[in-house]
Amino acid sequence: MIPKQLRTLGTGAALILGGLITLNLASSATIRAIRFTNEAKRRKVAPPCALCRGKGFVMCKLCKGNATIYWSPLYDPVAINPCLCPTCDGNRVQRCLNCLGKGYD
C-alpha cells in the first residue's frame, strides 16, 4: 500500500506535468496557426520571385536540366562515366535559392 503523502505528491506531479504538456501543445498549435496566416498574407501581397517567376523551382545549374553529369575520379580520365546529378537527384530542377522555394520575395 502506498502512503498517503506519496500518493498526494504523485498526483500533484502528474497534474503539473499534464498541465505543462497541454500548455506546450496548445502554444505550438497557436504558433503554427499564426505562422500559417502570416505566410498566407505574405503570399498574397508579395511580388513573385524574379529568378523563378513564382514557381519556386529553377532548372538545375549543375546538370543544366539533363539529370546526369559526366564525372571521373581521375584528373586525366581515360573514360568519363555519366552519373546521376547530386544537386537535383535526377529531377532536372532544384529549389530556387533566391526565394527558398516559396515563389515570392
pLDDT in tens, the chain (105 residues): 778 898 999 999 999 999 999 999 999 999 999 999 998 998 889 899 999 999 999 999 999 999 999 887 777 777 788 899 999 999 999 999 999 989 887
pTM score of the predicted model:
0.59
- Tell me the backbone φ, ψ of residue 72, rounded to 5 degrees: -145, 140
For residue 19, what pLDDT is reported?
94
Integer Cα distance of 98 and 70 in angstroms: 27
Asked if 86 and 64 count as a contact pair (C-beta separation under 8 A), the reply is no
| Nearest alpha-carbon partner for 56 in 8, 7, 3, 105 | 105
Integer Cα distance of 81 and 63 in angstroms: 14
Q: What is the DSSP letter of 48?
A: B
